[in-house]
Structure 1
Amino acid sequence: MQNKVFKDYLFITIGILLVAIAVEYLYAPNNLAAGGVTGLAIVINHYIPFASTGTLVLIMNIILFIIAFIFIGGNFGAKTIYASFGLSLIMWIIERFFYPQALTHDLIIAAIFGTFLSAIGMAIVFNANASTGGTDIIAKILNKFFHVDIGKSLSSVDFIVTLLAAITFGLNAGLYALLSVILNGIAIDRVIEGFNTSKQLTIISSKNKEIGQFIMNGLGRGCTFLKGVGGYTGKETFIIYTVVSRAEFIKLREYIKSIDSKAFITVGEAHEVLGEGFKEISNT
């Protein structure tokens, strides 16, 4: 259990570090306010430059958490609080000690690679059952008091931030920021799917008992035997159904090949698997 907690916080730290790098080296120097609290901080920093982006994110998160505690309760979880304030701290450290400069002044390159880094970082954080607070809190407040769906609330907040960016930095920067927001949502979904993708297999073989034993004892996974009847032979048989990781699939395929070269296997991708041996249902 302690290893799981340590692993989650380690991944959250890596995730917020990637987001901070995207903001400090690609978004902020190019005035790309790509939604969320960090985007709003970039806009505000333009008007009060003596306040760093990291400091503004920290102040806004504190205010939002206080408002949320008062109006919607304090059910955030330690991971979200850690991710939220950890992101602000990392951004402050980068600004205070590393004096970040733009890696590129080409807006489209900054938008694409900023989105790429940010999406990977956010996906890592989300995959550890946390979030960076900020925009999520605003969305929950809008949902509670104005009955706007969470998804629409998030989109509305990001749209308002990019509109402010267009007013502050010009239409060109605003449109690139909007492009980053759109791509970011798509990219986060794809990255999370990649993290959680498993292989689901159905196996028909005369060696079904041996294969079942290998799955349970050799791989430590479960499997289900389904009764079936061959359409051509009319003989009863057992079909094995199992879900394994990519690495386990390779081992299982090689084992089946070694004992029954005539086995029939179908392989599909499962983008999310919940239950014993995978992600716990209670954590979703």
Structure 2
Amino acid sequence: MKKKATDFLLMTFGTVLVSVGTYFFKFPNHFSFGGVSGLSVVLGQAFPFLSPGAWNTIFSLLFLVLGFVFLDRGFGFKTVYCSLLFAGLTQGLEYIFPLAGPLTDQKMLELIFAAALPAVGSAILFNIDASSGGTDILAMIMRKFTRLNIGKALLLSDAVIALSALFVFDIQTGLYSIVGLVMKSFLVDMVIENINMKKSFTIVTTHPEEVCEFINKNLHRGATIWQAKGAFTDKPHWVILSVMSRMQAAALRNYVKNADAHAFMLISNATTIVGKGFREM
């Protein structure tokens, strides 16, 4: 229940970030980075009888219906919830905070927020196996019925939507959209890596009992230990392997330095850890 509650809060927070970045920064500046929101920006200009928020709602619900028709239970509550929340928030913000134009006259500043907020929100959602729907649902359908490379197909469609801004709006807006698409792609990967960043310890020590006890009892982490021999001194040593969070890593590093002044520590970043206490298989 605790994990479900945490996932629910993260889904809500991530979707709110995507919605705020989309409505306050993408829509008024006509930035089209791809996806449903980018397509909505283009259609809002080409067919102005509906606002970008309305087009966003229509396509979000359309893809949601397609998901129910073509996908099985793996479609999942998370995607349904985030998709409906994203459509509802974006549409609701139009009525609560109507915008006549961009918030500032600094287009590059707004581009940064237009890319960063949805990127962080999307990264949070992707990290808990959720998404805000839209073209992600289309990707799920394509993956089920075709052998296409889904990542490349989505990137190509996003690029086409971004390039369309060159013709629907102007050269400047189109170029900003292309830059925004590249920024968002890098930011999503960067944020996911930082969310999952752990510290991997390889410790060579002559005091294995004290170090393992600190890891087990104080940090509540596990460790693997094996005996080794120094190549130069020919004396016995023990090698301890453990993985933990960055805050725990700082505590362990300080403890080992005080407990064994001659210990050797190899500390590296790890972003993919599979096993008990971390990501399940």
TM value normalised by structure 2: 0.93
* 1:30-41 pair list within 5 angstroms: 30-41=29-40
Alpha-carbon spacing, 1:261–1:209, altered in 2? closer, same or farther (3 Å): same
**What residue is the counterpart of 1:168 in the other structure?**
168
Deviation at 1:191, TM superposition (A): 0.6
* 1:269-284 pair list within 5 angstroms: 269-281=269-281
* 1:224-263 pair list within 5 angstroms: 224-263=224-263
Deviation at 1:72, TM superposition (A): 4.2
Aligned residue identity for 2:91: W
Deviation at 1:60, TM superposition (A): 0.9
Distance in 2, matches of 1:146 and 1:215, equals 48
Distance in 2, matches of 1:126 and 1:54, equals 23
The 3-state SS of whatever aligns with 1:120 is: helix
**What residue is the counterpart of 1:60 in the other structure?**
59
Aligned residue identity for 1:40: L
Checking the alignment, whether the CA contact within 8 Å between 2:33 and 2:159 is kept in structure 1 is no
Distance in 1, matches of 2:235 and 2:98, equals 73
Checking the alignment, whether the CA contact within 8 Å between 1:139 and 1:157 is kept in structure 2 is no
Q: Percent of pairs identical after alignment?
A: 35
**What residue is the counterpart of 1:222 in the other structure?**
222
Distance in 2, matches of 1:169 and 1:145, equals 35
Deviation at 1:12, TM superposition (A): 1.5
* 1:63-142 pair list within 5 angstroms: 63-100=62-99, 101-142=101-142
The 3-state SS of whatever aligns with 1:148 is: coil
The answer to which of 230-239 and 141-150 deviates more is: 141-150
Checking the alignment, whether the CA contact within 8 Å between 1:135 and 1:157 is kept in structure 2 is no
> C-alpha offsets along residues 149-196 of structure 1, whole Å, 9 cap, x if unaligned?
011111122022113322211232122111111111111000110011
Distance in 2, matches of 1:123 and 1:42, equals 22
Gaps of 5+ in 1: none
* 1:1-12 pair list within 5 angstroms: 2-12=1-11
* Aligned residue-pair number: 280
> C-alpha offsets along residues 236-277 of structure 1, whole Å, 9 cap, x if unaligned?
221001001011111112222232222111100001222211
TM value normalised by structure 1: 0.92
Aligned residue identity for 2:156: S
**What residue is the counterpart of 1:152 in the other structure?**
152
Checking the alignment, whether the CA contact within 8 Å between 1:224 and 1:242 is kept in structure 2 is yes
Distance in 2, matches of 1:259 and 1:138, equals 56
Q: CA RMSD in A?
A: 1.8
Distance in 2, matches of 1:143 and 1:214, equals 47
The 3-state SS of whatever aligns with 1:49 is: coil
Checking the alignment, whether the CA contact within 8 Å between 2:68 and 2:75 is kept in structure 1 is no
Checking the alignment, whether the CA contact within 8 Å between 2:143 and 2:150 is kept in structure 1 is yes
Aligned residue identity for 2:150: I
The 3-state SS of whatever aligns with 1:238 is: strand
Checking the alignment, whether the CA contact within 8 Å between 1:41 and 1:57 is kept in structure 2 is yes
The 3-state SS of whatever aligns with 1:274 is: coil
Deviation at 1:146, TM superposition (A): 5.4
Alpha-carbon spacing, 1:51–1:72, altered in 2? closer, same or farther (3 Å): same
